[in-house]
Structure 1
Amino acid sequence: MEFTVGQIAEALRGEVEGDAAQRVDRLAKIEEAQAGSLTFLANLKYEPYLYTTGASVIIVSRGLVLRQPVQASLIRVDDPYSSFTTLLEFYQQSTRTGKRGVEEPAYLGSGSVIGENHYRGAFSYIGQNCRIGQNVLIFPHAYIGDRCTIGDGTIIYAGAKLYADTVVGARCTIHAGAVLGSEGFGFAPQLDGSYRAIPQTGNVILEDDVRIGANTTIDCATMGATLIREGVKIDNLVQLAHNVEVGRHTVIAAHAGVSGSTKIGDFCVLAGQVGLAGHLSLANRTTVTAQSGVGKSIKVEGEFLQGSPAFNLRDSLRANAIFRHLPDLERRLTQLERSRIEPEKP
């Protein structure tokens, strides 16, 4: 696809400096861009490339002051990163939405209904009595169990598995290998030391605009629903246990694990390898840094947590600074004790 600089600027509500009639047909990183490509500058660490790149068009901030002449045309916007993301989304959609129709063999169970302009890849499976919206893309080897509901514009990638009764909202993305609705880890200890499995009778509900990373698993609820609210973004290889609730627009990075019945507030951030114990809650806008473990509820909004067990970031940094000096502090303490015990020399 080919667009003029003027067309792109109009779509981004930006201002053109240079040739508005110039055409571009691809996106590129600023350090690698060649003629005919469009790039962006959001991080000033890359500003030197602004004056050497071969790109034809660069999206920059409205307030950027040029230090020397630039060969490329500029599109000035309020937020270059966000604007370039918008273009990437448009490009992605235009390449994906070309897939339509049904590849054989593909299975559609009795009583299931699917909307217009959908795509079903080869060996995909849709169970009985499912309700699937319009413009849904279901890639090869995806499995959708009985009585599932999927909203308009959602994408289910190859090999993803949705157990029975899973509900997925509109414009969601579920990446390859993700499993939604697998049995929650619930077992009742018996008198003889064995464990008896507790039936998991609930489901998983994803609201609109949720993204689930590759090989992430979300367990169904024991009763009720494991609930992922609007706009949540979950990375690859994340585990969410039964009856977990994740608040709106929260992001969870890879290798994080959340134990059963924990409730995460809105706009929270869980970095990589974070672990949350069960039956606790995180207040809105809580941030937990990488490899931290949270073992109690956080009731104050906006807390930054670090460590295992995790506590306030500022206190954690002070504690770590003291910890690094412990060997020297021990040596000085030992010397002090010896000086008090040993008799003074005449």
Structure 2
Amino acid sequence: MQLTLEEIIELTGGKIVNEGRADSFSGLASLKEAGVDDVSFLGNEKYYADYLATAAGLVLVPTIVERFPKGSVAIEVENPSYAFGLIVKKLASKQRVFKPGVHPAAWVANDVVFNADKVSIKAGAVVESGSRIGDGTEINSNVSLGEGVIIGENCVLHSNVVVREFCELGDRVILQPSCVIGSDGYGYELVDGRHTKVDQVGIVVLEDDVEIGSSTTIDRARFGKTTIGEGTKIDNQVQVAHNVIIGKHCLVVAQTGLAGSCELGDYVTIAAQAGVAGHIKVGDQAVLLGRTGAAKNLEGGKMYMGMPARPLKEEQKKLASLARLPKLLKDFKDLKKSLSEAD
């Protein structure tokens, strides 16, 4: 599969600022590894030396760049990383072949509602009774859909995904391999010295354009719904507990944990290995940096850091003070010694 130079210009809205030796491209690569058939991009000044030495056939560059690699077509765009993503998507759509139909090695209950001419269900998939699958959706190998699951249009469920009973997915949802939607929430009561399981009878709702990463688990609500808002993207190995509500267009990065009944507003970003305690709220457009622990409600529109979470500047001042502590202790000991000698 190839894209011509004209197609790339039309797709990205960029303009040629340096002529090159190629006029069609079939690959995507980093600046270091790219060859004459590949498209690459300069998205970070740290890679400027690699950019100048690249053998890429085409490079997407920001407007501030004035030097160009020899032999490479350079296309100026406002956001090279985003423009590169558009090219990736275009090439992927050309390479992906959607083959509707049900593989003979799949098992689909007789009452499942779907159009076999517009849905792809691959080998080893299991679709239980009462489920509904929208047109254009692809169910890959060994996916398990429980009873009464609702899947919207143009979704992609990759291999070994589990969606348990009665959970609901909107349109254009992507589930990466081995994620689990609708596992039981972690709920127990101590009765007569034994941990007794609390039934989890709610569901999970993933709204339109949500993407869930590999090996991420989203627990069903104890009652009601665990909800992931429209456009939210959740990374690999994230734990979302029962009755959590995540707003629209949030970013939740790898190994984050969201405890039961916490609530994130819209456009919240939570970096890697952060944690949010149960029953608290994080406001719209808040940013929690890596390994931040939110133990109380956090106001929106601010950046937070540390355990417990504090506004970024406040936490930075604390860390700067701690860094000075060894010198302060030394100065104190020297002062104490000099006073002792003066006596």
Aligned-residue offset at 1:29? 1.6
- Is 1:83 the counterpart of 2:83 in the alignment? yes
* C-alpha separation in 2, matches of 1:83 and 1:48: 21
Residue in 1 that maps onto 2:307: 308
Residue in 1 that maps onto 2:323: 324
55-64 or 219-228, which deviates more: 55-64
Residue in 2 that maps onto 1:146: 147
What secondary structure sits across from 2:123 in the alignment?
A: coil
What secondary structure sits across from 2:53 in the alignment?
A: coil
- The answer on whether the counterparts of 1:6 and 1:16 sit within 8 Å (CA) in structure 2 is no
What secondary structure sits across from 1:78 in the alignment?
A: coil
* C-alpha separation in 1, matches of 2:146 and 2:243: 20
* C-alpha separation in 1, matches of 2:241 and 2:42: 40
* C-alpha separation in 2, matches of 1:268 and 1:42: 23
119-128 or 193-202, which deviates more: 193-202
Question: In 2 relative to 1, CA 20–292 (structure 1 residues): closer, same or farther, beyond 3 Å?
Answer: same
Residue in 2 that maps onto 1:232: 232
* C-alpha separation in 2, matches of 1:256 and 1:142: 25
Aligned-residue offset at 1:279? 0.3
Aligned-residue offset at 1:99? 4.1
- The answer on whether the counterparts of 1:270 and 1:287 sit within 8 Å (CA) in structure 2 is yes
* C-alpha separation in 2, matches of 1:293 and 1:84: 34
Query: What does 1:262-301 align with in structure 2 at a 5 Å threshold?
Result: 262-299=262-299, 301=300
* C-alpha separation in 2, matches of 1:26 and 1:51: 19
- The answer on whether the counterparts of 2:53 and 2:69 sit within 8 Å (CA) in structure 1 is no
Q: Deviations over 1:10-58 (max 9, x none)?
A: 1222223437982222222222111222222222332334443222222
Aligned-residue offset at 1:73? 1.9
What secondary structure sits across from 2:204 in the alignment?
A: strand
Question: In 2 relative to 1, CA 47–185 (structure 1 residues): closer, same or farther, beyond 3 Å?
Answer: same
- Is 1:189 the counterpart of 2:184 in the alignment? no
Aligned-residue offset at 1:245? 0.5
Q: Deviations over 1:242-265 (max 9, x none)?
A: 000111111111111111000011
* C-alpha separation in 1, matches of 2:336 and 2:30: 62
Aligned-partner residue type, residue 293 of structure 2: G
* C-alpha separation in 2, matches of 1:45 and 1:327: 33
Q: Deviations over 1:83-128 (max 9, x none)?
A: 1101111222333344443322101113211244322111100111
* C-alpha separation in 2, matches of 1:3 and 1:323: 55
Runs of 4 or more, structure 1, over 6 Å off, are none
Query: What does 1:42-57 align with in structure 2 at a 5 Å threshold?
Result: 42-57=43-58
* C-alpha separation in 2, matches of 1:344 and 1:176: 73
- Is 1:135 the counterpart of 2:113 in the alignment? no
Q: What percent of counterpart residues are identical?
A: 30
Aligned length: 341
- Where does the alignment leave 5 or more consecutive residues of structure 1 unmatched? none
Aligned-residue offset at 1:327? 3.6
- The answer on whether the counterparts of 1:244 and 1:259 sit within 8 Å (CA) in structure 2 is yes
RMSD: 2.1
Aligned-partner residue type, residue 240 of structure 1: V
Residue in 1 that maps onto 2:8: 8
* C-alpha separation in 2, matches of 1:12 and 1:48: 24
TM-score w.r.t. the length of structure 1 is: 0.91
* C-alpha separation in 2, matches of 1:69 and 1:228: 44
Question: In 2 relative to 1, CA 75–334 (structure 1 residues): closer, same or farther, beyond 3 Å?
Answer: closer
Aligned-residue offset at 1:281? 0.3
- The answer on whether the counterparts of 1:6 and 1:21 sit within 8 Å (CA) in structure 2 is no
Residue in 1 that maps onto 2:220: 220
- Where does the alignment leave 5 or more consecutive residues of structure 2 unmatched? none
- The answer on whether the counterparts of 1:33 and 1:55 sit within 8 Å (CA) in structure 2 is yes
* C-alpha separation in 2, matches of 1:182 and 1:111: 24
What secondary structure sits across from 1:205 in the alignment?
A: strand
Question: In 2 relative to 1, CA 333–97 (structure 1 residues): closer, same or farther, beyond 3 Å?
Answer: same
1-10 or 324-333, which deviates more: 324-333
Question: In 2 relative to 1, CA 326–48 (structure 1 residues): closer, same or farther, beyond 3 Å?
Answer: closer
